[in-house]
Amino acid sequence: MTQRTAVLNTQTHTTPLPMPQRNPQRPAWIRALDSNLTYQIGTFALFALAWQLYGTYWGGLLVPTFTETVIAFVELLGTGEFWEAMFISNQALFIGFALSIIIGVPVGVLLGRFRTMERYSDVYLNILLVTPMAAIIPLLIMSVGFGLLSRVILVTIFAIVMVIVNVRAGVRQVDPTLIQMARSFGASEREIWFRVLIPGALPSIMTGLRLGLGRAVTGMVIVELLMVSLALGGLILEFRGMFNGPGLYATIVAILIEALLLISLAHWLERKAAPWAPNNQKGRGSR
């Protein structure tokens, strides 16, 4: 968002040669979005060009050109195999992510609310945060097998830390006098959670969900690559085995696109959910 405003500022202050197609009458946010989009498309075109050149002149068997990848991607979308893989992968993603919300939010609130609990839990959170999760995959398979359950568990483990840590941070920055105020009006602990802590932490909760979603996607792919060659991860392995470069890249692109769409959605929700938060307001200062 800071980038966006920075772009705006340079335009309004320092451009003696404004781009002709831009109408200054349009609202600021459309212009900002516009300019952002221009830059994004520009950098993407540059990237695609470099890729195309590299693939054409230096790419071996496993580095297809950009256009080959695009064609393979379109073909991939036409196969039933791909959609089945998408379905299976996303099953684990959504169940796992939902679980990390259902468990992560209350745990985060609890840890943010009670300091002593935090002291005991910090070690485990750090373990979850820094341990390479791939290391526990064999452990998971031994205990719950190859099924949906183990994939769900892995996605949850990947995502839940981000949710917990952010919710905890959000709850902790809720003004303690608000809690006192609620108590002074006779609020129960439950009412404090639902009327003060959770609304107050909502911006951070939404951030946690967005970051957790990113980790969930990572978890989804990793588990399929390392544990059960299935669905999207399975497709990647299969294409690699057949030395099908374009197919391999196309699958990765599909995952990327899904991740980007999900993150944008989460970002949009984040801003929608707490319009009162200072970060989500534009040009609407307090008097």
Partner 1 sequence: MIEITGLGKTFTGQDGSAVRALDNVNLSVQDNEFLTVLGPSGCGKTTMLKMIAGLMPWDEGEISIAGNPVRGPGPDRSMVFQNFALLPWSTVLENVAFGLRLRGVSKSEREDRARELISMVGLTGFETKRPGELSGGMQQRVGLARALAVEPKVLLMDEPFGAVDEQTRRLLQEELLSIWERTKVTVVFITHSMEEAVLLGDRVVLMSARPGQISEIVPVPLERPRSSDVGGLERSKEYVEITAYLWERLREMHDEHRAKNPAALNGAGR
Contacting positions for partner 1 (CB under 8 A): 175, 177-178, 180-187, 191, 195-196, 199-200, 202, 274, 276, 278, 281, 284, 286-287
Q: Hey, what amino acid is at 123?
A: V
Instruction: Please check whether residue 214 is in contact with residue 155, taking contact to mean a CB–CB distance below 8 angstroms.
Output: no
Least separation in angstroms between residue 277's CB and partner 1 is 8
Q: 49 burial class (0-12, 13-18, 19+ CB within 10 angstroms)?
A: exposed
- d(C-alpha 263, C-alpha 178), whole Å: 32
CA end-to-end span of the chain: 23
- Output 204 or 251, the one with its CB closest to partner 1: 204
Least separation in angstroms between residue 194's CB and partner 1 is 11
- Output 159 or 174, the one with its CB closest to partner 1: 174
CA neighbours closer than 13 Å in the CB half-sphere of residue 48: 12
- Output 13 or 287, the one with its CB closest to partner 1: 287
Least separation in angstroms between residue 182's CB and partner 1 is 7
188's CB contacts (< 8 A; 6+ apart) are: none
- Output 25 or 116, the one with its CB closest to partner 1: 116
Of 280, 115, 284, the C-alpha closest to 204 is 280
Least separation in angstroms between residue 230's CB and partner 1 is 43
- Output 13 or 190, the one with its CB closest to partner 1: 190
- d(C-alpha 263, C-alpha 102), whole Å: 19
Q: Which DSSP state fits 286? A: -
Least separation in angstroms between residue 118's CB and partner 1 is 17
